């Protein structure tokens, strides 16, 4: 994109950006920084509404207190997938106030390996 913008200036000879132009651009602007991203599935990203998540945890806490549920009787079954052939992270440019890795949305049509786990609220894990 940067080379296209330079070309549109109509200079002779046509200018192009250098190999490290992104790094130098970020260094010149204190509001930007570069971070390594983590891969993240698009469908999962659509489900992350903090209000909905907070309401769910409030409901769980209320139910635990209302019925006197023991931590040994509260279980979490979870599954996670690993995308085959996607081992590299990506470097992204973001606002400098972000300190952690930023997610990169991925298309959902990849081959996955699935892992399932089960633990309870007291720390016991199903072998």
Instruction: Express as a percent the part of the chain with pLDDT over 90.
Output: 19
3-state DSSP assignment of residue 35: strand
Can you read off the two tokens belonging to residue 123? 């720390």
pLDDT band at 41 (very low <50, low <70, confident <90, very high): low
Q: CA 60, CA 84: separation in Å to the nearest integer? A: 35
Q: What are phi and psi of 119, to 5 degrees?
A: -135, 160
34 burial (CB, 10 Å; 0-12 / 13-18 / 19+) is middle
Question: Does 105 have pLDDT greater than 60?
Answer: no
């Amino acid at each position: 994109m940067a080379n296209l913008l330079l070309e549109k200036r109509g200079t002779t000879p046509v200018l192009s950006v250098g190999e490290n132009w992104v790094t130098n651009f970020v260094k010149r602007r204190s509001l930007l920084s570069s971070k390594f991203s983590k891969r993240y599935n698009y469908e999962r990203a659509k489900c992350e509404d903090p209000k909905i998540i907070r309401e769910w945890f409030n409901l769980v806490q209320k139910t635990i207190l209302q019925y006197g549920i023991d931590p040994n009787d509260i279980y979490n079954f979870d599954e996670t997938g690993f995308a085959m052939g996607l081992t590299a992270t990506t470097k992204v440019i973001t606002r400098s106030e972000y300190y952690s890795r930023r997610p990169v949305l991925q298309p959902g049509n990849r081959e996955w390996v699935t892992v399932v786990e089960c633990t309870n609220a007291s720390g016991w894990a199903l072998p």
